[in-house]
Amino acid sequence: MNTKWAKMMSSINCGSSEQTPLQARLNELTSSISKVGLLINFLVLVVLLILYFTGKNQDANRKQEFVPGQTMGDNIMNSVGGKIAATVTIISVMIPEGSPIAVTLILAYSMKSLMGDGAMVRKLWACETMGSATTICIDKTGTLTENQMIVTKFWVGQDTVAENWCSSASKFFVDLIWDGVASNSEGSVYNAKPSSESVCRFSGSPTEKAILSWAFSQVSMDMEKIKKRCKLIQGEVFDSRKKTSGVLIMNIMDGTVHVHWKGVAQTILAMCSSFYNRSGMEKDLNKDERKKFEQIIQGMEASGLRCIAFAHKKVCTEAIEERNYRNKIQEDSLTLLGLVGIKELCRPGVNCAVKAFQNAGVNIKMITADNEFTAKAIAKECGILRPEDDASNGAIVTGTGFRKIPREKRPEEVEKIRVMARSSSSDKLFMVQCLKQKGHVVAVIGDGMDNIPALKEAHIGVSMGIQGIEVAKESSDIVINSDNFFSVAEVLRWGRCIYDNIQKFIQFKLTVNIAALLINFVAATSSGDVPLTAIQLLWVNLIVDTLGAFALSTDLPTDLPTYQSTEQTKEVMNKPPVGWTEPLITNIMWRNLVGQAIYQVAVLLTLQVKGESIFRVDEVVNRTMIFNAFVLCQVFNEFNARKLARMNIFKGIHKNKLFLGIIFMTVALQVGMVEFLKRFMVTKRLSWGQWGACFGIVAASWPIAWVIKCIPVPHTPISQLIEKIIQRNSN
């Protein structure tokens, strides 16, 4: 348990009880609404009891309900119980006990749709959390790049050579290159034929496969000949600290013994005292020549290439005895054979995805174990670094440099960092912790072993499903099955759409709550009675929490695959992230829901007071029209909730067949409730004219919504405006 592996595994197996941004907001909203609802209901109960015991209430015979000294105790208990039942009716609609179910329904439907787009969502809240992300930390190898490499440059001496250079080089020098590549390699070649490279299959690390592929295609390496003439005496496997590997081999043909080393160019160059030029002649590696090679290596790294060097030395047979004594392959006074520049291939769609993140206001940070030069080149190619970004302005740091920053200053410095090179798993973990401490919603994208602690620590972890290791996928919240990096931008887009749909539902839900609360409150305090019964309000809650949530959750941009495709997705992806700071209910939502609630209250209270005389109906029919109009108001308000800020609420509605189907089903169920379940719902059948009057009343909510959206609102949240006013008055 004291090994590094065991400590890493124990850290990722610890469960996290941390809430997502949406969960925190919903819990706060639910708590606030419940407290307000209970307070208002308590006030309603107090008012009703005062009206009753002061003799203000009258019974059906227009007589005073309570007469001191005359009213019997049973009648008092029945009347007080009725008042309590009336307030409980209001509580049933005000407390949002069904909101978690409705939000879960939205998340489940969206998660199912997202999984159809090539992503496996392992946690229900993961996609929505991705939509709230303010910073994304991305690993380079296997994430931004394809984990595939190709050799693009080969230097012999201080000159680059073309593909056909082998025909003019000496056989001795070509054989040395063959021996150095084939003998000192952890990769393997299957079905290799010198005449046909296309039938070769290479295995091993991406670097090894790139070198072997290059050796077969450009150096015409013959693996069969090498196996026949070379015998491995000793090998030193790749050392991750020195980043080198070496072998001691014997040429069976002539009995000579050779040392071959391969590794990071700077390290191998330091082990060499001579080099081969383009003609295959050996030359001394003096100070000036060494400086030229260092410049060549730096130039290759600056262009984003991973520079690997090959070195060789012929040793006497006594070296075998010396090896038995020292148990170490000689690693000094070597001769440099050549340098290869290996390029990592960026994934298709990386540039578009990074641009989409940046347009969405999300900070992108690349974290890699590669050197600064390679990291900088790849970051510029992917669009993460701007032309003016470098180490001087803090945009590029190393893991060592990041660890040297004082702990109290790290949260400030982490904002400037765009690329962190030569980083370890602990560096990535510290980066995520600092960003969370700064208040960011952090997403980590990676698929390697060194990314696991960061994937677990972040608010949302994303891994690639094909090339990613199993432990990384188990530590992630979302797995991209196709390994298409642009799918990550699609997850962000879906997450933001889910958040928007939840906001639409919250606006829709609160409009019902506020309208029902005000109607019953005013009616109860004025007449001592409530126009909407408990059964009717429970039916409204069923429509709002289930059918309404399902209808609004279907309004997603599922028809086209890219974020540039529709006006809706452009609007979603070009606005800043919500993070932790933005309130769940925005000023636009407050404007919309208050305007609609006022209209509904005004209309329904008018029906309550003047409905019988206006439509010349009895009390039961009037109550039925109030209930019917209230339900239809919510159905029509679903159209208003589709567009929180846009004037045209019908745009694109013809494409959403499911939304229209749910609306039709809701209206059909309401007709059935009023016309056929009248005894259960305490209603009475309505005539065609009365149905038309109900539809006419609620249809007016559409032009009213258009007028309401013309009212400008400040961007600063209402809570902050109130705080500023209080501070100004206190000063």
pLDDT tens string 312-371:
988 876 656 655 545 678 888 899 988 999 888 888 888 888 888 888 889 999 998 888
pLDDT of residue 444: 93
| Beta bridge pairs of residue 260 | 247, 312
Query: CA-to-CA distance for 569 and 562, rounded, in angstroms?
Result: 9
Amino acid in the structure at residue 6: A
Alpha-carbon distance 419 to 396, whole Å? Answer: 5
Q: What is the pLDDT of residue 391?
A: 74
d(CA 340, CA 214): 10
> Which uninterrupted H or E stretch holds 315?
strand 305-315
Tokens 């693996």, residue located = 223
Higher-pLDDT residue of 296 and 523 is 296
What top-level class would CATH report for the domain 16-115+490-722? mainly alpha
Percent of the chain at pLDDT > 70 equals 87
Structure tokens at 406: 């004082």
By CB atoms closer than 10 A (0-12, 13-18, 19+), residue 662 is buried
Mean pLDDT score, 593-611:
90
- Rounded to whole angstroms, the Cα distance separating 297 from 705 reads 66
Distances from the Cα of 172 to the Cα of 167, 179, 510, angstroms: 12, 11, 84
Catalytic residue among 74, 117, 139, 254: 139
Region of poorest pLDDT, from 92-96, 373-377, 536-540: 92-96
User: What are 495's two structure tokens?
Assistant: 């997450």
Position 151 scores a pLDDT of 87
**Residue 62, pLDDT score:** 63
What digits encode the pLDDT tens for the residues 426-451?
A: 889 889 999 998 889 999 998 888 88
- Rounded to an integer, the average pLDDT of 490-497 is 84
pLDDT, residue 596, reads 92
**pLDDT at residue number 625:** 93
pLDDT at position 558 is 38
CA 271 to chain centre: 47
Q: Domain 148-344 carries which CATH code?
A: 3.40.1110.10
* 3-state SS track over 386-422: CCCCCHHHCCEEEHHHHHHCCCCCHHHHCCCCCEEEC
Q: Are 230 and 173 in contact (CB under 8 A)?
A: no
313: left (phi over 0), alpha (psi -120 to 50) or beta: beta
Q: How far apart are CA 139 and CA 152, in angstroms?
A: 23
At residue 678, the 3 state secondary structure works out as helix
Q: Indicate if the pLDDT at residue 488 is higher than 60.
A: yes
Range scoring the smallest mean pLDDT among 151-160, 261-270, 561-570, 575-584: 561-570
| For residue 156, pLDDT beyond 80 | yes
Q: What's the token pair of residue 707?
A: 């007028």
Rounded Cα distance between 629 and 623, Å, is: 10
Query: How many beta carbons lie within 10 A of that of residue 7, not counting itself?
Result: 11
In the chain, where the domains are located: 16-115+490-722, 134-144+348-483, 148-344
Give the residue, 579 or 375, on which the prediction is more confident: 375
Integer Cα distance of 168 and 170 in angstroms: 7
Instruction: Please give the DSSP secondary-structure letter assigned to residue 186.
Output: S
pLDDT at residue 559 in the model: 35
Of 215-229, 387-401, 454-468, the poorest mean pLDDT is in 215-229
User: What is the rounded average pLDDT of the residues 271-294?
Assistant: 87
Give, in degrees to the nearest 5, the angle at Cα 451 between 494 and 359: 35
Out of 3.40.640.10, 3.20.20.70, 3.40.630.30, 3.40.50.1000, select the CATH number for domain 134-144+348-483: 3.40.50.1000
- State which of 83-92, 221-230, 658-667 shows the largest mean pLDDT: 658-667
Q: Is the pLDDT of residue 55 over 80?
A: no
Half-sphere exposure of 1 (CA within 13 A, CB side): 2
Distance CA 285, CA 335 (A): 9
Query: For residue 677, what are the CA distances in angstroms to 92, 542, 669, 688, 689?
Result: 21, 16, 10, 18, 20
Structure tokens at 471: 């432990």
**Which pairs from 621-624 meet CB under 8 Å and 24+ separation?**
621/684, 621/686, 621/690, 623/531, 623/682, 623/683, 624/674, 624/678, 624/683, 624/684, 624/686
The Cα–Cα gap between 24 and 519 comes to 30
Lowest mean pLDDT among 192-196, 521-525, 526-530, 578-582: 192-196
* Statement: residue 237 has pLDDT above 80: yes
* Cα separation values, 402 from 397, 449, 560, Å: 7, 21, 42
For residue 413, how many C-alpha atoms fall within 13 Å in the half-sphere facing its CB? 21
Q: Strand 244-251 to strand 257-264: parallel, antiparallel, or no bridges (unpaired)? A: antiparallel
d(CA 549, CA 641): 11
Residue 554 in contact with residue 659, Cβ under 8 Å? yes
More confident residue, 70 or 588: 588
Decide if 226 contacts 257 (C-beta within 8 A): no
Residue 18 near residue 26 (C-beta atoms within 8 A): no
> What confidence tier does 173 reach under pLDDT thresholds 50, 70, 90?
confident
What token pair was written down for 491? 């997850």
In this structure, are residues 396 and 375 in contact, taking their beta carbons and an 8 Å threshold?
A: yes
State the pLDDT at residue 597: 92
Tell me, what's the pLDDT at 174? 81
Please tell me the predicted confidence (pLDDT) of residue 528: 63
Burial of 364 (0-12, 13-18, 19+ CB in 10 A): buried
- pLDDT, mean of residues 463-477: 80
Rg of the chain on CA atoms, in Å: 37
| pLDDT score at 731 | 66
Cα–Cα distance for residue pair 292/299, rounded to 1 Å: 11
| Residue range 651-659: mean pLDDT, rounded | 84
pTM: 0.76
Query: pLDDT grade, residue 561 (50/70/90)?
Result: very low
The angle subtended at Cα 51 by Cα 48 and Cα 53, nearest 5°, is: 105
Q: Please, what is the average pLDDT of the chain? A: 81
Instruction: Please name which of 398, 425, 470, 466 lies closest in space to residue 147, comparing C-alpha atoms.
Output: 466
Ramachandran bin of 243, using left for φ above 0, alpha for ψ from -120 to 50, beta for the remaining angles: left
The dihedral through the CA atoms of 357, 363, 369, 374 has a sign that is positive
Active site residue 139: yes
With CA atoms as reference, report the closest residue to 485 among 389, 366, 390, 569: 366
